[in-house]
A and B are shown apart, each in its own frame.
Chain A
Amino acid sequence: MSFVKLTASTLAIAAVSATAAVARDQVQVAGSSTVLPYASIVAEAFGENFDFPTPVVESGGSSAGLKRFCEGVGENTIDIANASRAIREKEIKACADAGVTDIIEVRIGYDGIVFASDINGNSFEFTPVQWYKAISKQVVVDGELVDNPYTMWNEVDAALPAQEIQAYVPGTKHGTREVFEDKVILAGCEETGDFEAYKAANGDDKKAAEKACIALRTDGRSVDIDGDYTETLARIESNKDGIGVFGLAFYENNTDKLQVATMSGVTPSTESISTGEYPVSRPLFFYVKKAHIGVIPGVKEFAEFFVSDEVAGPDGPLAEYGLVADPELAKTQESVAAESTMGGNS
């Protein structure tokens, strides 16, 4: 039966080539879905301009990417992890336990987090305090901590339009969530002075008070979105009262459907973020396994290309897509060229 022979030979070829092709020749990147568009733009240009194959960029979230990054050293692990937040101590330790000791941290620029609602709806001018009051699990009313009673934005602040509170915030696996909690909810919590009430309620424990501050209400007024911004957009399209948390680049690609809200009186744009006027922004990073430089072809070249002036600079394609260029890019370029790892030992 020729069919059996064909099968056998196909299997044989597959088995032989599987052993032969263990040497991986393209860079593998995984991590933050916020960094994914930037990384894919760079990967595409890298494949076009160098003799290396186009790197593979997978998404899945900062935490998922760093977890894969910390699985160990070797060709079946990824070379670069994208993250929309800095690596945590816990993750560095997990990395070290798996043998990933030399990590190069590369900051590629800044990204703004914007609050946007349906284009035809009310326009909003937010402050962190309003967001804290609207979606925190507990708030202080008449000197006492109570479950969040607000249902309309104008109950939170009379200056806001009378619209149901319905917020779509990024889920906990997204790096964006951390920034949102830190720079909006916690900032608002501290500004109102509710923080002291939490502190008193938690026996003067600052950590516990912070945690209580950023706990969001679970009665359906605030919905965690674990998917991508497209999911948030779809939610807003179906519920016109919804207000979503987006990356600046995503908003700029969907200006026909969304209108952006100001935060503390500043309209988000690459300019207002780079001057630091717009408060809700965060640095974006990628992490390189030093042990893979020289083993997997193109890792260092890719990292250097990523932060080169013509790519990550203020006139480069990344800035055009919505990244806020890092004013200290030259320093980053130096440290990538020198392969300086975290903790100082290069």
Chain B
Amino acid sequence: MTDLSQTPASGETPMPQKRGQSLLEPSDRTKRRNAAETRFKAYGIGAIAIGLLMLLVLVTTIFSKGLGAFQQSFVTLQVELLESKLDKNGNRDIDDIKKVTTFGYAPIIRGAIEAKVTELGIDTPLKAKDMAGILSKDAAATLREYVVTNPGQIGETVEFRFLAQSRVDGYLKGRVSRDSIGNDKNISAGQLDLVDALVAAGVVEKTFNLAFILGSDASDARPEAAGMGVSMLGSLFMMLVVLALALPIGVAASIYLEEFAPQNWLTDIIEVNISNLAAVPSIVFGILGLAVFINYMHLPSSAPLVGGLVLTLMTLPTIIISTRASLKAVPPSIRDAALGVGASKMQSVFHHVLPLAAPGILTGTIIGLAQALGETAPLLLIGMVGFIASNAPDSIASGLLSPNSAMPAQIYEWAKRADPAFYERAWGGIIILLVFLITMNTLAVILRRRFERRW
């Protein structure tokens, strides 16, 4: 670096070495140049080290904060499904049973936990209502759903695994301590004593939580029940739309531009604009989607179809650019040979060039999809962020059209909520999202390694 600016300015004779100096002994200038090179290498290593350190910090933060979300505390209880409460008429009429709301199930749960505590002989000053307070509000919903689907079980005693409420779960995970609950009205020290006793009796246990991966979003009152599953489906449907639209359109556009289009000012403008489009911030596509797809075309808002359309616009330039690059990489001799044996231009492209460029195209597509998968900003504007992902789609049409969220939008939503348990789930969601992204990128790398040909 220094020698570059020095040489012309010094005004000395350009002779590098003075007469009589040994070649084996490096001159001052050589030393300086070598030192500059060593310094540059050190800068490079330093840069890489900083990068790796950042990555390490990121990964450890994500895993230390997020792994907790994959574990959840459960309370196992034997619940007597009292006929007097759930089916007053005793005729097992499903419409009558459905009239009992989740609020009507609270006394049954209270009874169940009280019975358990008495059975175990745990001495606690708590009332039944406070004992039931260690359970998630989701417990009543679980119970009601079971009864509505199995009305024949009314009157029997059935064993259930209920979620523990988020504070109890936090206590068992070390997030909540006895010191930190001083002002907390959601849990008391007495309830924690009860939890300790129940843990000792094996009634409360922490196990792997499949519901976090497969379940749906839950409201602010029960963070312990929230899961990523439905928003994952939302992301899946969006990716299907992106794949179905962006890949054919992108490949067709690049084949035409690369192989057939004449070189003139018009194609130049198109080319420049495609490159520009790749650099447009994604929020712009979100506003466009709101204006065109929802307000003008009247597509339903919050629908993965609209999300997919918006992300298609975002992914198209990426796919076009990478497809064109891989088409360009196929040597002209292949085309010439095909044309030479009498193939038409189209035959030469589809029979020879395209198959050879396919690995590159696929890599570009997968990376474009991975980019789209992690995109949140445009989804904010088309209504995919909020308390949305609670209805699992039951068909392809409803998957595309009924409101849903997406993985990154779900993470954003959780990070905003008040209960710290949601914060943990946001980090857990990041782990799931990262697993998807890493899988996709690895797939891209493998495809490239396996099928790429160099000339």
Contact = CB atoms under 8 A, between A and B. Distances in A.
A10 B240 CA distance: 9
Interface in A1-56: 3-4, 6-7, 10-11, 13-14, 17-18, 20-22, 24, 26, 28, 30, 33, 36-37, 39-41, 43-45, 47-49, 51, 53-54, 56
A48 B388 contact: no
Interface string B345-380: 000000000000000000000000000000000000
A250 B401 contact: no
A47 B145 CA distance: 11
B102 A49 contact: yes
A310 B102 CA distance: 10
B219 A43 contact: yes
Interface in A209-236: 227-230
A57 interface: yes
Contact of A22 (B245, B298, B301): B298
Contacts of A239: none
Nearest to A16: B397
Interface in B284-329: 294-295, 298-302, 305
B244 A37 contact: no
Contact of A13 (B141, B183, B386, B397): B397
A320 interface: yes
Contacts of B98: 51
A255 B184 contact: yes
Interface class of chain B by DSSP: loop
Interface string A113-157: 000000000000000000000000000000000000000000000
A253 interface: yes
A76 B387 contact: no
Interface stretch (B78-86, B191-199, B412-420): B412-420
B397 A17 contact: yes
Nearest to A230: B416
A119 B383 CA distance: 36
A142 B298 CA distance: 62
Contacts of A41: 219-221
B176 interface: yes
B385 interface: yes
B101 interface: yes
Given A76-B298, A256-B176, A321 B386 contact: no
Nearest to B415: A230
B400 interface: yes
A304 interface: no
B298 A253 contact: no
A36 B300 CA distance: 21
Contacts of A76: 294-295, 298-301
Interface in A252-286: 252-256, 259-260
A21 B390 contact: no
B396 interface: yes
A14 B305 contact: yes
A255 B182 contact: yes
B127 interface: no
B404 to A, nearest CB: 9
A210 B214 CA distance: 53
A253 to B, nearest CB: 4
B388 A58 contact: yes
Nearest to B100: A49
B89 interface: no
Q: Which of B247, B298, B388, B396 has the most CB of A within 10 A?
A: B388
B402 interface: yes
A256 B385 contact: no
Given A26-B403, A40-B219, A41-B219, A58 B300 contact: no
B150 interface: no
B180 interface: yes
A13 B388 contact: no
A317 interface: yes
Contact of A230 (B144, B184, B385, B417): B417
B223 to A, nearest CB: 9
Given A7-B248, A255-B183, A317-B137, A58 B401 contact: no
Contact of A252 (B145, B185, B241, B247): B185
B186 interface: yes
Nearest to B182: A255
Given A10-B240, A22-B298, A317-B137, A44 B397 contact: no
A21 B221 contact: no
Contacts of B222: 44
A256 B396 contact: no
Contact of A37 (B301, B391, B396, B417): B417
Given A37-B220, A310-B103, A254 B420 contact: yes
Contacts of A21: 300, 397-398, 401-402
Contact of A49 (B101, B299, B383): B101
A59 interface: yes
B181 interface: yes
B218 interface: yes
Contacts of A40: 219-220, 387
A245 interface: no
A47 B241 CA distance: 28
A249 interface: yes
Given A10-B240, A230-B417, A48 B144 contact: yes
A230 B415 CA distance: 8
B226 to A, nearest CB: 10
Nearest to B306: A18
A136 B298 CA distance: 46
Interface in B179-225: 180-186, 218-222
A56 B388 contact: yes
B184 A57 contact: no
A227 B380 CA distance: 13
Contact of B418 (A58, A229, A260): A229
Contact of B387 (A6, A36, A253, A260): A36
A342 B220 CA distance: 30
A256 B181 contact: yes
Given A230-B418, A321-B220, A11 B387 contact: no
A249 B184 CA distance: 11
B403 A56 contact: yes
Nearest to B390: A54
Nearest to A227: B416
Contacts of A20: 397
15 contacts: A4-B248, A11-B244, A33-B416, A36-B220, A37-B219, A41-B221, A44-B221, A45-B101, A45-B102, A57-B386, A57-B387, A58-B386, A75-B300, A252-B186, A310-B103
Given A6-B244, A28-B302, A250-B418, 19 more contacts: A13-B397, A14-B305, A22-B298, A28-B301, A40-B219, A41-B219, A43-B219, A44-B222, A44-B387, A51-B98, A57-B386, A58-B302, A75-B298, A230-B418, A252-B184, A252-B185, A256-B180, A310-B103, A317-B221
Interface of B: 98, 101-103, 137, 141, 144-145, 176, 180-186, 218-222, 240-241, 244-245, 247-248, 294-295, 298-302, 305, 383, 385-388, 390-391, 396-398, 400-403, 415-420, 423
Report the 4 A-B pairs with minimum CB-CB distance, sorted nearest first: A58-B386, A256-B180, A40-B387, A17-B397
